[in-house]
Structure 1
Amino acid sequence: MELGAFSISLTVHDIQASQAFYKKLGFEVIGGDPEQNWLILKNGNSTIGLFQGMFDKNILTFNPGWDQNGKDTDSFSDVRELQKRLKKEGVPLLSETDETEVGPGSITLEDPDGNSILIDQHR
Structure 2
Amino acid sequence: MGAFSLSLAVKDIAKSLAFYRKLGFREIGGKIEDKWLILSNSETVIGLFQDMFEKNVLTFTPGWDKDGKDVDPFEDIRAIQKRLKDEGIAIDTETDPDGTGPAHVMLTDPDGNPILIDQHR
Q: CA RMSD in A?
A: 0.6
How far 1:30 moved relative to its partner?
A: 1.3
TM-score with structure 2 setting the length = 0.98
How far 1:85 moved relative to its partner?
A: 0.7
Aligned counterpart, 1:54 = 52
Question: For the residues of structure 1 that align with 2:109 and 2:53, how far apart are their CA atoms?
Answer: 17
TM-score with structure 1 setting the length = 0.96
Question: For the residues of structure 2 that align with 1:122 and 1:34, how far apart are their CA atoms?
Answer: 19
How far does the alpha carbon of each residue in 1:40-90 deviate from its partner, in whole angstroms, 9 at most, with x for none? 111001111000011100000000011111111110111100100111111
2:2 to 1, 4, 12: 4
Q: What is the correspondence of 1:34-113 to structure 2 with a 5 Å cutoff?
A: 34-113=32-111
Q: Secondary structure at the match of 2:110?
A: coil
Residue type at the aligned position of 1:53: D
Residue ranges of structure 2 left out of the alignment (5+ in a row): none
Aligned counterpart, 1:13 = 11
Q: Secondary structure at the match of 1:96?
A: coil
Residue ranges of structure 1 left out of the alignment (5+ in a row): none
Identity, % of aligned positions: 61
Question: For the residues of structure 2 that align with 1:67 and 1:34, how far apart are their CA atoms?
Answer: 22
Question: For the residues of structure 2 that align with 1:4 and 1:31, how far apart are their CA atoms?
Answer: 17
